[in-house]
Chains A and B, each alone.
Chain A
């Protein structure tokens, strides 16, 4: 640790999450647990059509239904609530107006059309059935690739369905391909996924007419950014809006957004002068919370016969959905950034066409654009290895940059901070005994068994990020304060919602201040208390927010040292600080940090010109992203008769830099692999040709369950970064990014006897059976 370097009582240790006792006892407070006197409930009438004109809405019967207080439709609020915003700024981007309640037309199944406010959830929901809407169905656009070619246009003013064309990459790709010995190409589909946080969204808005103040409790990852946007949308001064993210039951990117419901409930509370609540149902969550992935494209790799990579090309269509949510158009640009994977690729080009379809918007879902890049690169590596007759491990090794080549410049414009890709791969190979494994595979194959070994080596971009590269600031803030009683309060602008930073930030602060972990209390997620912050996403909270905590604590220690010197009647230079104690007095006297804090508050004996109190705030601006990496190896056996896939072993070696708390890192890797495996094998949001959502419940959308997951064998290498003083990189998305291609590579490897090059995800047993039985 930069400041004292001496005390590592907590950092690096598997400290149990201080969040857990309340959560596992059901004592946490989520939005729905917060009850205000006189609160009213909102239920939505949502579009049953993917594309339709609204000829009329008749709310008379619903208004008269029992318990109904008010009903709002698009025309009732037109011009009074701003549109749902997008922060993505891309050249030539077409941005359709996205009203919080549909106006004139609906563009996807689940779009809010009318809001009923009633005295109970039941009354509100019942009344929805009494609203009569005359919908006139219009032509539906479901397939993004077809929609890019022509056909019915969703947003008429734009003339076509193409929202933007984004080009990325550096180097002469055409020359690279022209000079290649070998070119491999594969069309790949990254299916649409639903983030499925355990707690769906929920909003409680309470406006006080006297104070003209709005408090908005909402299940969000970005309370401050949301405050700014909602204030603008509803026309309240920003400092009269307080956003509170109470306990948030997961987000995975889906709550890194500004949703129609958040602004609309705020507006309704202002109209009615009553608290209003809406808790998303799972069906709403499936249809009207953002989806992820949804790219389809052709990826090509140019190589020399010896396996040296010369260039990579990716021509892709991104299915954006009907509207832009906060970051919708920006997600595929992250794919473009990460197309070098962990390899030296001199020339890279991506052309991405973002296309409107009559579906819910896609946006950030765990990994957000990077899993797509890793999947493309790692699938291409396996295909190339097979076609060149080189072992897939060797091909990877051959193209890694060596540890002394860092910082490593990619042909996508990035500088990878640090890395040792060989070490992580070697560790994973040793854990599975790779060479022996290949031998066993040979005898298994000879015996008619379909065993496959899949390797994926990945690098990802974390610690988002330098502000110049972010749509709304990439720094993070922290305040550290010692109260008169010596208790330490940390306020972070990050907004943890499951990651466990109440624990890890307390570990960092407790070590630096030499205090007991239990004396540190971490506050987050309340804009009325915490200084402005950016929030939690992009594996940034520890690398950027934790660094802000470090610097704020350093600032605080420096002030405390000044006061301590005064109390010890010596000069500041003589004072040392260790284990919470200041020493260096001529008479060997010592003062504790707690005594200094009390003195700072009593303020009767401070050095001249010293501000009373003991508090410091720091806004940290990172100078680069961080680039964690790792190697995942998956061993599968395919059932020849049914196509069923059984994972026999799963080994992951991840390198996320220095580790503050190994338990938290393991938890992130476990959950990450589960979601990556979900994409590889089970999950898929399916809309039919009419834009109806087929996977509208968890009986049809297959979230992986415990019994469907393998035992994880995990290890780590630790390559620190100099991007931040903690040396940490980020681990929130690593598991998701590394696992998907490892699993798919393993299954394709198992199917090698059938000459299979690629199968699109999810790898449903039926698809495998069709390949095996040649159907």
Chain B
């Protein structure tokens, strides 16, 4: 629980941060809320030569509306997202998800950007980010690029962000029907992380499902879109029967399930279907 020695830098601009990152190469870590990185350092699972705290860079934690897109700074904390009235109205899925992360201390420190880059297979954010088809903005010395949520999660604890890059912003299109959404999770009893979590964003026209995006976290080594379920829903009248049969497909995209002392793969697979059905019912209000 005592980390090894590291240099600490707190640059005040993205450019200065990128310079430092280039200088240290592979041997540095970016620090945001520290609620994943600090435990990793304390357990000596990583021992970087330097920690670069981007928390002093101005402008990285704002939440704003830019025409039809919501732009959320990478440093926005879970708590600030949960408390945002604008998000509560225009994209309640984000606020609902933020509410269900950890405890007040974790929500006050942890950030959206940090959580996404850490790519913990049991984290909550990935489900919502997939269900909202978010775009993640990344800055490197070569400039800026945008990564689609679908391409963002590469593997367990691995995202598409390269060493030397900083996530600056996450943006989502304002959903056509903000309230047709939900996030339901089964929390692991010790850590509170998701054993399974399902986020749903729907579009329903006259009782017919015209749009469905479903993100699943916790079940597999990487979060995924439950496309089979989405396809089964789209174009059909939303009924209890449809939800049941569609939710039963929610585990089909993942071949391998996570398996630990808290839940076997078999149980997680079962939970994924049950929770998908519940999340769909909540979003569709049937």
Enumerate chain A interface residues (CB-CB to B < 8 A). Answer: 43, 121-122, 125-126, 129, 281-283, 641-642, 644, 681-682, 684, 686, 694-695, 697-703, 705, 708, 764-766, 769-770, 773, 775
Contacts and interface: CB of A to CB of B under 8 A. Distances in A.
Given A708-B189, A766-B267, A775-B266, A700 B1 contact: no
Contacts of A698: 190-191
8 contacts: A43-B2, A125-B2, A129-B44, A642-B271, A686-B261, A700-B190, A705-B103, A769-B270
A686 B1 CA distance: 20
B52 interface: no
A281 B191 contact: no
Nearest to B267: A766
A700 B267 contact: no
A703 B192 CA distance: 11
Interface string B1-21: 110110000000000000000
B261 A703 contact: no
Given A122-B2, A283-B1, A764-B262, A769 B267 contact: yes
B2 A702 contact: no
Please provide the 3 A-B residue pairs with the shortest distance between their CB atoms, ordered closest to farther: A702-B190, A281-B1, A702-B189
B108 to A, nearest CB: 17
B186 interface: yes
Interface in B11-67: 43-44
Nearest to B186: A642
A282 B264 contact: no
B249 interface: no
B155 to A, nearest CB: 20
B263 interface: yes
Given A126-B5, A282-B1, A699 B274 contact: no
Contact of A766 (B103, B192, B263): B263
Given A700-B191, A705-B103, A764-B189, 6 more contacts: A43-B2, A125-B2, A699-B190, A701-B190, A702-B188, A775-B266
Nearest to B273: A641
Given A699-B191, A700-B190, A700-B191, A766 B5 contact: no
Contacts, number: 61
A121 B271 contact: no
A682 B266 contact: no
Contact of B190 (A703, A765, A770): A703
B123 to A, nearest CB: 13
B191 to A, nearest CB: 4
B190 A682 contact: yes
B2 A281 contact: yes
Nearest to B196: A642
A642 B274 contact: yes
B261 to A, nearest CB: 5
B274 A641 contact: yes
Contacts of A682: 189-190
B72 to A, nearest CB: 27
A39 to B, nearest CB: 16
A399 to B, nearest CB: 35
Nearest to A126: B4
A684 B192 CA distance: 16
Nearest to A699: B191
B122 to A, nearest CB: 10
Contacts of B262: 700, 764
A582 B43 CA distance: 65
B206 to A, nearest CB: 30
Interface in B162-210: 186, 188-193
A705 to B, nearest CB: 8
Nearest to B103: A705
Contact of B186 (A644, A681, A700): A644
Nearest to A682: B189
A496 B247 CA distance: 55
Contacts of A126: 4-5
Nearest to A644: B186
B82 to A, nearest CB: 16
A484 to B, nearest CB: 49
A684 B189 CA distance: 11
A603 B285 CA distance: 86
Contacts of A281: 1-2
Nearest to B191: A699
Nearest to A704: B189
Contacts of A694: 261
A702 B262 CA distance: 10
Most buried by B among A121, A129, A642: A642
A775 B261 CA distance: 17
A695 B44 CA distance: 17
Contacts of A642: 186, 271, 274-275
A35 to B, nearest CB: 18
Contacts of A122: 2, 4-5
A695 B43 CA distance: 14
Nearest to B1: A281
A766 B264 contact: yes
A645 to B, nearest CB: 11
A725 B4 CA distance: 57
Interface in B250-271: 261-264, 266-267, 270-271
A698 B189 CA distance: 10
A644 B275 CA distance: 12
Nearest to A285: B1
A770 B270 CA distance: 11
B8 to A, nearest CB: 14
A341 B2 CA distance: 47
Contacts of A703: 190
Contacts of B5: 122, 126
Contacts of A697: 43
Contacts of B271: 642
Nearest to B122: A699
B2 A121 contact: yes
A213 B275 CA distance: 64
Nearest to A766: B267
Contacts of A701: 190
A157 B1 CA distance: 37
B48 to A, nearest CB: 15
B43 to A, nearest CB: 8
A588 B193 CA distance: 74
Contacts of B275: 642
Nearest to A283: B1
A697 B193 CA distance: 14
A695 B262 CA distance: 11
B186 to A, nearest CB: 7
Nearest to A706: B103
Contacts of B274: 641-642
Contacts of B193: 699
Contacts of A681: 189
Contacts of A770: 267
Nearest to A280: B1
Contacts of A775: 266
A702 B188 CA distance: 9
